[in-house]
Structure 1
Amino acid sequence: MSDTDPRNPYGYNYEEFEYESKVFYKYQQIKKYIHFIPEDQEKVTNANFIYIGGMFLATLCSLGSGYLIRSSYIFKNKIIFLHKFIQEYPKIYYG
């Protein structure tokens, strides 16, 4: 492996790399020796499911609240539409 090979963690300008890059290169070197036990795989899968569930729930909540605000169930008397305001205000030309 040459000094300029990107998979070589101790090669060209290794001292100037960021910490994350050094960790990535070291992981690439030892990846072939790592064997996951079923417990580790289960923890990774559960963490991924929790993340995906949280993203789905956040999307669902934002869409639901947007629908409720848009259909005027929430802030029913507080929303003033611009075109109604302009029609009632005589000094603005509403072409």
Structure 2
Amino acid sequence: MNDDDVFVTAYPCPMCLGALYYAQPDRVVFAATREQEGEHYEDGNRLMTLATFYDEYAKPVADRNLPTEQGSVDDPTAPFRAWTARYPA
């Protein structure tokens, strides 16, 4: 067994999956599939269900249930350039 294995109860949600990709473990081991978890899970979310959660991410931003728009900012990449200048790769 590797030192960098992550064990979770069910296939990770998109938020957790994103964090796992950044963490870069050697592998992720899950007990229940999304379908198996779905038999026992419902949180009454008004924007999605467990069954539709992953499908939301594949939609174009304008077609998602959660209204999302880019705000008006003079220089939206300024924080990223400042970070890169301060912490070069």
TM-score normalised by L of structure 1: 0.26
Which protein has greater RCO, CA pairs closer than 8 Å, 6+ apart? 2
TM-score normalised by L of structure 2: 0.27
Q: Report which of the two structures shows the higher radius of gyration computed on alpha carbons.
A: 1
Which structure: greater helix fraction? 1
